[in-house]
Amino acid sequence: TKRIILKDKDHPDIEQLREPAKILREGGLVAFPTETVYGLGANALNEEAAKKIYEAKGRPSDNPLIAHIADFDDLLPLVTEVPEAGRKLMEAFWPGPLTLIFPKSGLVPYGTTGGLDTVAVRMPADPAASALIRLAGVPIAAPSANTSGRPSPTTADHVWQDMNGKIQMIVDGGAVGIGVESTIIDVSGDEPMILRPGAVTQEMASAVLGKEIFLDPAITSGPLKADVRPKAPGMKYKHYAPKADLTLVEGKEETVAAAINKLVQEKVEAGYRVGVICTDETLNLYPQGMRRSIGSRLQEESIAHNLYAVLREFDDLNADCIFSESFSRNHLGQAIMNRLTKAAGYHIIQV
């Protein structure tokens, strides 16, 4: 796997991007940065290329891919219709961390959509992603560039750990900005619905639509029951799973720290390698265990930004169990808690 380091990721040098664009156009795999997480790109209109993505990730092939575009004109060939809600959301949030689900056109192969008659489309804001897609000249299917079941990659090193030897190239643009995957909103049905929370929050989308938009009940109801099918097929898989057993502890700050310290003490005495996920504000409250701050409570963005890197770090440290503080479920906190509760297999202790 070849790795190219972008000289200036905010003003990408087109010469540097010619080779990855050519690989993509010709059906190969290239990982590249976006503002949310690193993507594993392939030509979205080439079913064979899509197949290679599933192989490299070890991902079930009924899990559909997002087609990434660079310009508004690139949308129309992929869809049969742009519903009113979709138009409003695009105008407000594209380019940016929002994926919209539309009825698909005949141009998009079922190999890309996992057999669905809808297609997920996103226009990333990252200048390197945008330039690369434009140069490739085709929509780029790109799931997160992690091995299926591992935390999404937020640096090129994370991608390297999972994909070295499995793909042609990694475009290294340093650490991403947001750190959690895009918000997914389905606008193909009668009522728009959030299928995955992200940096375009429920509050932001509701404000643009002029009425409240809701989350797919399947993703808020805790562990999935056999009869509940989330509309985004990817949400049903065990995702973002750290190797260690992760437990979230929810309650008032002082109570949480006391409860976590007690749990850590028990596990340490039993001989386990124990991790603690806390914040800049609470780091000093934990005398034992491998403590990592996930960011500042005063800045939710920092928590989203560090979340997957912290989970991967505990994998590298071979932690057996991790106890984590919890966060509010408003605004960006909804996406943060969605990822954390899934990583914890819905194991939450209320104190």
Residues that bind ligand TXA in the complex, under the rule CB under 6 A: 34, 36-37, 39, 63-66, 99, 101, 113, 116, 118-120, 122, 142-144, 181-182, 184, 195, 231-235
Q: What does 120 interact with, of ligand TXA, Mg ion, none (CB < 5 to 8 A by kind)?
A: ligand TXA
Instruction: Find the helix or strand (DSSP H, E) in which 172 lies.
Output: strand 169-172
Measured from the CB of residue 344, what is the shortest distance to ligand TXA in angstroms? Answer: 18
Residue closer to ligand TXA by CB (options 181, 325) is: 181
Residue 119 interaction partner, one of Mg ion, ligand TXA, none, beta carbon < 5-8 Å per kind: ligand TXA
Non-local CB neighbours of 227 within 8 Å, separated by 6+ positions: none
Distance in Å, CB of 200 to ligand TXA, minimum: 11
CB-wise, 116 or 170, nearer to ligand TXA?
Answer: 116
The nearest distance, CB 339 to Mg ion, in angstroms, is 10
Minimum distance, C-beta of residue 175 to ligand TXA, in the bound complex (Å)? 14
Nearest to 192 by CA among 217, 164, 215, 163: 215
The 3-state DSSP class for residue 238 equals: coil
How near is the Cβ of 265 to ligand TXA at its closest, in Å?
Answer: 37
Instruction: Please tell me what DSSP assigns to residue 288.
Output: S
Beta carbons of 302 and 327 less than 8 angstroms apart: no
d(CA 331, CA 109): 35
**How many residues bind to Mg ion according to rule CB under 5 A?**
1
Residue 287 CA: distances (Å) to CA of 43, 68, 257, 258, 263: 50, 46, 10, 11, 12
Q: How far is the CB of 64 from ligand TXA (least distance, A)?
A: 3
CA distances, 54 to each of 29, 67, 108, 140 (Å): 11, 15, 17, 14
Shortest Å distance, C-beta 340 to Mg ion: 15
**Residue number, 118 or 338, with CB nearest to ligand TXA:** 118
Q: Residue 118 binds what, of Mg ion, ligand TXA, none (CB under 5 to 8 Å, by partner type)?
A: ligand TXA
Rounded to the nearest whole angstrom, what is the least distance from the CB of residue 144 to Mg ion in the complex? 3
172 CB-contact burial (10 Å; exposed 0-12 / middle 13-18 / buried 19+): buried
Closest to ligand TXA by CB, 169 vs 184, is: 184
User: Candidates 84-92, 138-146, 166-174, 189-197 — which segment interacts with Mg ion by CB under 5 A?
Assistant: 138-146
Among Mg ion, ligand TXA, none, residue 99 binds (CB under 5-8 Å by kind): ligand TXA
CB of 326 to ligand TXA, least distance (A): 23
Say whether residue 36 binds Mg ion (CB under 5 A). no
Long-range contacts of 280-283 (CB under 8 A, 24+ apart): 282/253, 282/257, 282/325
Phi (first) and psi of residue 316, to 5 degrees? -65, -30
Q: Which does 173 bind (CB under 5 to 8 A by kind): ligand TXA, Mg ion, none?
A: none
Interaction partner, residue 202 (Mg ion, ligand TXA, none; CB < 5-8 Å by kind):
none
**Which 8-state DSSP code applies to residue 221?**
S
Closest CA to 338 of 228, 235, 260: 235
Which residue, 200 or 276, is less far from ligand TXA as judged by CB?
A: 200
Give the three-class secondary structure for 249.
Answer: strand
User: How many Å apart are CA 260 and CA 250, to the nearest integer?
Assistant: 10
Between 232 and 276, whose beta carbon lies closer to ligand TXA? 232
Nearer to Mg ion among residue 144 and residue 188 (C-beta): 144
Q: Which two tokens stand for residue 282?
A: 């609470």
**Position among 46, 99, 118, 144 found at the interface with Mg ion (CB under 5 A):** 144
Site residues for Mg ion per CB under 5 A: 144
